[in-house]
Amino acid sequence: MSTDTEGRSRLVTDAGYIAGAMLLLYVVFLILGTLQGYPVAGIISSLQRVTFLVAVYGLAVLALNLHWGYAGLFNIGVAGFMAVGVYTSVMLTAPVGASPPGLGLPLPVGILGGMLAAALVGLIAGLPALRLRSDYLAIMTVAVSEIIRFTYNSNTFSQFTGGASGFDSIPPGPIRQLLLQDASSIISEPTPLGAAIFQFMEFSGIGWISLGRPDTINILSTLLIVVVLVLVYAFLVRAVNSPYGRVLKSIREDEVAAQSLGKNTSRFKLKTFMLGCALMGLAGIMWFGAIGQSSVYPNAFRPEITFYIFIALIIGGAGSNTGSVLGGALFAGLLFEAPPRVATILTDALGVTNAPDTIIGALGPIASGQLTPMLGFLLDNMSQLRFIFVGVLLIYLIQRRPEGLLGHRSEIAAATDLSVRPSQSKGGETDE
Amino acid sequence: MSDEPGPATTNIPDDVETPDELDPESHDSAVEEAAKRTPRGIPLRVDGLRKEFGGITAVDGASFQVEAGSLTGLIGPNGAGKSTTFNCITGVHTPTAGQVQFNGENITGLEPHEVANRGLVRTFQIARELEEMTVLENMMLAPKHQRGESVVRSVTPGLRRDVVSQEEELREEVWEMLEFFELDHIAEVEAGTLSGGQRKLLEMARALMTDPEMVLLDEPLAGVNPTLEEKLLERIHELREDGYTFLFVEHDMDIIMEHCEHIIVMHQGKVLAEGGADDIRNNEAVVEAYLGEDVS
């Protein structure tokens, strides 16, 4: 029962869970793509999109797990902290001459600055709220999140934030900078490395698959986000498998008990809150900024995003880092991305045309025995309907498996294997 | 079964080990004065403590002191103000008036964690074990100022080595303490599954892992079966002989009379009487406060 073997076997199991989930997602999307008659490049691009969503959800859910799963900090303002992260990084890195203008600083400065800004907003929100009961933190964070969105949305600051339309074209991500001489133009002359990679992907590439520049850039950028996810995961696993993790768990379980043992819980809560907010900022930067040449606008950070992230964490199991990634993957892939695709396939397969626009129009024909209009209406509105499925699943989970997929595991917060008894101990024969 | 409480001997603060080595570092006049008057130090002094909740006065000018290395009992009928006094001493409540001194330092109004870090820890009337953490995790939480409580040290490769080595040392102490309290066979179960008595034992063991000088026990025997009760009292006596100081709130007069060398009786927020078991037994005011309860 040494730490090494135990830790390693859990690592293997966990890697197996994630690999299994990704395999499942890839098979599902391969089938969906084939059914929709996508070309190979289209299928690959849809797999890239799923991987991207899994990775960015994973990042955000991991950050929330640190708050809620470990320390019991009920933060329902995740979207706001993500917005601060990405907005700050764009403001720091956008060219000086752009509209809205930026400071033209290098990308690493932008990323660090974004995380720092999210942590500072966390500090401002947390200083008063963390002194109060946990429900006040929830109220405070959702309010802060909305204040952030409205501030970015406001006309008053639009010369800095772009107002409601935000930043149309945010600075190119690192992969573009690496592969293209002029990162802002996809048709620009590639760098030597870029030329080699583009050549490989386009012609000699992986068997018969030929991928153009945009696909190549997207795939490599997504891989970069996956690398960031792995790093954040490793960071958090180390951080919580330690005396620090024990204090966080004790705060979640019984703060008074932790205080009575000399733990300055307010300080731990504030530090942890700031750390989690910084990671949420990072998640925001990766979500909107890593691929680049996309836009970022205030309404991308509606409170729904926070709830999606919460749902993903509940599915995966609060308190488990692996569960967080798993929950993020299953939510993003199966519950968020797949249903509209399935609806499109069904609509085509069943030949449903002229679906009614309203529920009344769909209900009426049922009386005369016609079910097709209702079916058409439901398939047409799958983007909204999927959240009813999510709701049903959530009710089921909370009743039948409140601990989520992996929340039941006892993940001991320690840097060593605590079960190792000292050699000079007299053994555990206690007969009383 | 371990006859020698290993960690206890290593945990004893030097300054209370023997009467001759009284607190060599502290030059506080209060302690020195106390040391002159009595052969042992007075780690805890409560002076004119008063706590009001709205219009109710829970503690009404209570004053007492606890000698180093003693097992002092604090008794009184329901509502006498015992728990509130405990809460004022340990920082859970801020007293309305009065002063609490620990080792000559005024600790009135400090936060609970600050009080605990000065070597004055408590247990709770209803045990506050951390249910979803194992017994080992509960115990490992307690030691003060662990290196790995800093995220940076826990995460940074070079620095984590220190975190691990410290945790290995503490793990050894924790196992010894668990053996001392005979909790080692349930070390790896979640604390929420323990029986009431085991929870009390765990709470006391955990409090001792903070390396305290003095422990306040809030009804440590409530809900504990007679066998475990005996064991717990035995442990308290052993620890006391090793130099720990205990202040012990208890409902059961007989237990206090039998086990405590000094007894403080509270009634209606005031200290009604103080002294040895015989003084208390013969004190008419005490008999009256307990309204006919047999205290002889």
Cβ atoms of B93 and B84 within 8 Å: the answer is yes
In a domain? residue A196: yes
Average pLDDT over residues B15-23: 42
Indicate the residue of B111, B136, B154 with minimum beta-carbon distance to A238: B154
CA atoms within 13 A on the CB side of B180: 25
Which pLDDT tens digit goes with each residue over A189-206?
Answer: 888 888 888 888 877 556
Instruction: Please report the DSSP string for B29-85 in residue order.
Output: HHHHHHHHHSSS---EEEEEEEEEETTEEEEEEEEEEE-TT-EEEEE-STTSSHHHH
Q: How confident is the model at residue B20 (pLDDT cuts 50, 70, 90)?
A: very low
Four-point Cα dihedral A358, A359, A360, A366, nearest 10: 130
B121–A262: do the CB atoms touch at under 8 Å? yes
Note the pTM of the prediction, 2 decimals: 0.88
Domain count for chain A, please give it: 1
In a domain? residue A183: yes
Q: How confident is the model at residue A293 (pLDDT cuts 50, 70, 90)?
A: low
From chain B, pick out residues whose CB is under 8 angstroms from the CB of A275: 151
Which pLDDT tens digit goes with each residue over A313-330?
Answer: 999 999 999 999 999 999
Residue of B59, B65, B124 whose CA lies nearest to B100: B65
In a domain? residue A13: no
In a domain? residue A350: no
Which pLDDT tens digit goes with each residue over B110-155?
Answer: 999 999 999 999 999 888 999 999 999 999 999 999 999 999 999 9
Residue of A nearest to B147 (CA): A243
From residue A335, give the alpha-carbon distance in Å to each of A78, A323, A340, A400.
20, 16, 9, 19
A410 interfacial to chain B (CB closer than 8 Å) = yes
Which pLDDT tens digit goes with each residue over B24-67?
Answer: 444 455 555 544 444 468 889 999 999 999 889 999 999 999 99
Tell whether the model's pLDDT for residue B6 goes beyond 60: no
In a domain? residue A431: no
Which pLDDT tens digit goes with each residue over A221-260?
Answer: 999 999 999 999 999 999 999 999 999 999 999 999 999 9
From chain A, pick out residues whose CB is under 8 angstroms from the CB of B193: none
Residue of A8, A40, A44 whose CA lies nearest to A208: A40
Range of the domain at A271: 38-301
Please give the Cα distance from A161 to A100 (Å, whole number).
6
Which of residues A7 and A251 earns the better pLDDT score? Answer: A251
Closest chain A C-alpha to B175 CA, distance in angstroms = 6
Tokens of B285: 């005011």
In a domain? residue A178: yes
Please give the Cα distance from B21 to B35 (Å, whole number).
11
Q: Own/partner pairs for B221-227, CB < 8 Å, 24+ apart? A: B221/B250, B221/B252, B221/B255, B222/B125, B222/B251, B223/B196, B223/B197, B224/B196, B224/B197, B224/B200, B225/B197, B227/A432
In this structure, what DSSP letter does residue A366 have?
Answer: H
Residue of A270, A221, A303, A306 whose CA lies nearest to A123: A270
In a domain? residue A430: no
Q: How much is the pLDDT for A264?
A: 95
From chain A, pick out residues whose CB is under 8 angstroms from the CB of B111: 259, 264
A256 interfacial to chain B (CB closer than 8 Å) = yes
Cβ atoms of A308 and A108 within 8 Å: the answer is no
Q: How much is the pLDDT for A354?
A: 74
Residue of B271, B81, B230 whose CA lies nearest to B280: B271
From chain A, pick out residues whose CB is under 8 angstroms from the CB of B187: 418-419
Indicate the residue of A247, A250, A260 with minimum beta-carbon distance to B122: A260
Q: How much is the pLDDT for A131?
A: 83
Q: Pick the most confident of A107-116, A128-137, B124-133, B267-276.
A: A107-116
* Domains (range + CATH), chain B: 6-130+194-289 (3.40.50.300)
Give the helix ranges, DSSP H, for chain B.
Answer: 6-11, 29-37, 82-89, 112-117, 135-141, 151-155, 157-180, 196-208, 226-241, 253-259, 277-281, 284-289
Asked which of A174-183, A226-235, B111-120, B177-186 is least confident by mean pLDDT, the reply is A174-183
Asked which of A7-16, A41-50, B5-14, B185-194 is least confident by mean pLDDT, the reply is B5-14
Average pLDDT over residues B86-99: 93
Residue B66: phi, psi to the nearest 5? -120, 130
Predicted-complex ipTM score: 0.85
In a domain? residue A341: no
B148–A261: do the CB atoms touch at under 8 Å? no
Residue of A nearest to B149 (CA): A244
Please give the Cα distance from A29 to A411 (Å, whole number).
33
Size of interface A-B (CB pairs under 8 A): 147
Which pLDDT tens digit goes with each residue over B226-253?
Answer: 888 888 899 899 999 988 999 999 878 8
B128–A254: do the CB atoms touch at under 8 Å? yes
Indicate the residue of B140, B154, B187 with minimum beta-carbon distance to A239: B154
Cβ atoms of A152 and A298 within 8 Å: the answer is yes
